Amino acid sequence: MGKKKRSIYISTELVLILVLLAAAVLITMLMEPHQVRTAVISAIFVVVVVYFVVSTLRKERWFTIAGRILTDCSDQIDKYVNAVTMPTAITKKNGTIGWHNPAFSMLADMRCEGRNIFRIFPQLLKPSADRKVKIGSVTYVKEVIPAKLNGKDYTIYRLIDVNNTYEASDLYRIVTTAVCHIQVDAYGDLLRGTAQNDHAKIDAEIDRIIAGQAAGLRGVYQKYDRDKYLMFFERRYLSSLMQGKFAILNQVKGIDTGNAAFTPTLSIGAGVGNSPDDANKNAGAALELALGRGGDQAVLKDESGYKFYGGGQQAIEKRTRVKARMFSHALKNLMEQCEKVVIMGHSVPDLDCMGAALGIYACARQAGKRGYIVLDKSNAAVQGLVDEMKRDPDYKEVLVTPSEAERLLEDQAMLVVVDTQIEDFTIAPQLIPKAGTLVVIDHHVRGTTHIEAPTLSLFEPYASSTAEMVTEIIEYFSDKIYIKPLEVEALLAGITIDTKGFSFKTGVRTFEAASYLRKLGADTTTIRHLFQDDLETFSTRASVVQNAEVRDGIAISWCPDNVKNPQLLAAQAADSLIGIRGINASFVLCRQGDTVIISGRSIGGINVQRILEKLGGGGHATIAGAQLKGIDKQTAAHELRQAVEEYKKES
């Protein structure tokens, strides 16, 4: 063992130096035999020289060892050690430091070669499972990398300041995984609408496009169902997808199906996170949001929230009613297990909201349960319907205040939220956490803020109205269901008001629902009475339309302060504005308390949903809204104009 150790430090040059020095001492003693003092001094000189030579060679040897370790280890470790800004040191098995970079020396505030790393930083003695160490005021992540050289064990210590180290954040983004969940929209309808001999060709084209996208990202993909795919790639390639605005969406829409009425589209959910598991969960949540917004779009979820790409087209109507039938049966089963059914819509309810509420009330009655509808105060849009309910003794105890509903929910009661999926938009948000059984039914495009984890939910953004959805639920709820004439007329009025007299967002299923309600006895003449306005509301709406500012086909106007039902007036004025030639989209703002409310409408060329989403709102491509709290009129108008300009640039 001793010889092996000496071979590390003794070289030919060292032996030659020692021989020459010994010869010089010997000659001195022979020439001056009585000069013992001189001989002693010469001997001490030889020892000192030998010490410094050996020390120098030892140090040089450590640098050689460090270099050989870096050569023998992987390229990744080589990158870690050579990172100038990250404190890095190489030690023997006992902790003695043989090499370190300048960052480590600056952190220790001393020269560290030959010292024990655990005496300099006792924090490193913590178990390896605890990777965080605090040195001074900074918390570092400790990396301990074992290495071997010539059968000996060495250890590389690296301290990473994750918050402030550029190399760490850069490396993090490179090595983490991005996940994409991809689904073909309405795959069953697509196949039913195309010739059978074209099905294989359509599938092959979709596979080819997705495979090409995966190859372009240097990733992999897997088809795990007939219409579902998973794609994995490194996060650094995500920027190319974002810059291209997920061009794969348009590539798939370009596939020739042989039937111009049926075009394949994709819904994509992309996610990144601190781990592959986090990325996969984020991708799943993003896909759910993309599907809830009508499909034909990509949604990315990262640390900053959600980002949206595509989705400029109208949501494609699904012709199958399987989902409505399954939901109807599940709703009936839940109702049978509850004591009461409490129904709540959005604040300042309209006829669609109240019509849907009355439809669910009819279902509760059919299930043998007491039903209640939450209404804090009436407004001009529903006043006629509310008056009719108050005249009918069967509805004497149906309308309840939020405080009364809160007491009802203390028993085993179900809460059904209709015509909204945003908690803060409901009449009484405080009721939602108190509900043991929570059901949500809505036709609006799903936003990033929605009621989390309801017991049962039905979101159909392609539906014309919530009243249409509830009508389909009623059809499958029971073979012989009794519905009062007022309930049927309220449902048909809800469909009529949201489709602007069957001219907007009206599909085959919309007419089927209206036909079913007509068979049940809906009187269209009675419905017209529900739409009547008072003279004051009509005059104020006319002044809002007259004072609109029109620029590039987009009209923006304000409701006067201190008017009755400002939110309803803004919606009606926005509807009136898009009926004027040359106006493609309209936005009407009103103040209600400390909140500025914006109602947006479009005839289809401009997506008002994407514009108002920039302000925290949402809705449909042709009907959307937003609420801005704590700002004045001028600021709200300025932010709206900025959102419009951003939308123009994106489009």
Host H or E run for residue 183: strand 177-184
Closest among 471, 497, 485, 635 to 568, alpha carbons compared = 497
CA distance 647 to 651: 6
**pLDDT value at residue 76:** 43
Query: Is 78's pLDDT higher than 80?
Result: no
What pLDDT score does 2 carry? 42
pLDDT tens column, 530-552: 777 778 888 888 999 999 999 98
**Predicted pLDDT of residue 8:** 42
Out of 16-25, 488-497, 503-512, 606-615, give the one with best mean pLDDT.
488-497
Residues 147, 76: Cα–Cα separation, whole Å: 13
pLDDT at 456: 93
Residue matched to tokens 């995984």: 177
- Which letter does DSSP use for residue 446 in this model? P
Does the domain made of 541-650 have the CATH classification 3.10.310.30? yes
Question: What CATH class has 75-170?
Answer: alpha beta
Q: 514-534 burial string, b = 16+ CB within 10 Å, else e?
A: bebbeebebeeebbeebeebe
The token pair at 110 is: 């001393």
Q: What is the pLDDT of residue 276?
A: 84
Q: How confident is the model over 335-393, as pLDDT tens digits?
A: 999 999 999 999 889 899 999 999 999 999 999 999 999 998 887 778 889 999 999 99
Confidence of residue 245 (pLDDT cuts 50, 70, 90): confident
pLDDT per position as a tens digit, 165-188 = 544 555 556 667 899 999 999 888
pLDDT at 306: 83
Q: Is 419 annotated as a binding residue?
A: yes
Strands of 297-302's sheet, edge to edge?
220-225, 228-234, 177-184, 266-271, 297-302, 305-310
Q: Helix or strand or coil: residue 591?
A: strand
| 443 labelled binding-site residue | yes
Per the annotation, does 529 bind a ligand?
no
Backbone phi, psi, residue 199, to 5°: -60, -45
* 620 annotated as belonging to a binding site for a ligand: no
Please report the pLDDT score of residue 132 as a whole number: 81
Q: Is 498 annotated as a binding residue?
A: yes
Model confidence at 490: pLDDT above 70: yes
The CATH number fitting domain 179-310, selected from 3.30.70.270, 3.90.180.10, 3.40.50.1580, 3.10.300.10: 3.30.70.270
Percent of the chain predicted with pLDDT > 90 = 37
Domain ranges in the chain are: 2-71, 75-170, 179-310, 322-530, 541-650
The model's pTM is: 0.59
Place of tokens 């109205």: 465
What's the mean pLDDT when you consider all of the chain? 82
Model confidence over 4-41: pLDDT tens digits? 444 444 555 556 666 666 666 666 666 655 555 666 66
Q: What is the pLDDT of residue 294?
A: 76
| Confidence (pLDDT) at 172 | 56
Long-range contacts of 76-80 (CB under 8 A, 24+ apart): 77/145, 77/147, 77/156, 79/171, 80/143, 80/145, 80/156, 80/158
239: exposed, middle or buried (C-beta count within 10 Å: 0-12, 13-18, 19+)? exposed
**Ramachandran bin of 95, using left for φ above 0, alpha for ψ from -120 to 50, beta for the remaining angles:** left
Choosing among 3.40.50.1000, 3.50.50.60, 3.90.1640.10, 3.40.50.300, the CATH entry for 322-530 is 3.90.1640.10
Maximum mean pLDDT: which of 131-135, 585-589, 628-632: 585-589
CB 231 within 8 A of CB 219: yes
100 belongs to an annotated ligand binding site:
no
